[in-house]
Amino acid sequence: MAPLDPKVDDSETLVRVIKSPFHLKGKKLKKQAFQPPRTKQDLSVIRQVMGDDFCKNKGVELLAQATNAKYQGLATGLTMDVRRLSAKVIDYPQDFMGHAHIVSFAAHSPDEPHSPEVMEKLDNYYAKMVEHFLYHPDPKPEVAGWYGPSLKR
């Protein structure tokens, strides 16, 4: 496959791997699904242009490296909606082709806590991300490949 355009177009679908118990409450996304790990300032997503099967298989592969996380499905959102929330979406092929990062407006050092005002803004930001992403529970989580509806939005 030819390299992807490093510019992530506004119309591109972004795919977030969803795991339990961290990202779901019942069958609904929690704002924690869009909160970067404490040691990071960016959130990993997969560019759907790689294909639905690729997104699922890569997500399962990446989660296999994590502890206490169980793959549940995928969430999809449009790049333009993420950018409207004052976040950046950047191609990040250093890890794998099709990888991108969502960088929030409040990037910081993990050693320095945010002020209460910034924490409140971030809390609202994560809640709005939930509104812009659609959760797709995986109908066949134990099987390679995506068997749910198309992930392209």
Count the alpha carbons within 13 Å of 110 in the hemisphere toward its beta carbon.
7
Could you read off the pLDDT of 94-138 as tens digits, one per residue? 999 999 999 987 666 667 777 888 888 888 999 999 999 999 999
**88 vs 11: CA distance, rounded Å:** 14
**């409040």: which residue's tokens?**
106
Would the pTM of this model clear 0.75, i.e. be above it?
A: yes
* Mean pLDDT, range 41-60, rounded to an integer: 96
Torsion of CA 30, 43, 127, 29, to 10 degrees: -20
Q: Is 66 helix (H, G, I), strand (E, B) or coil?
A: coil
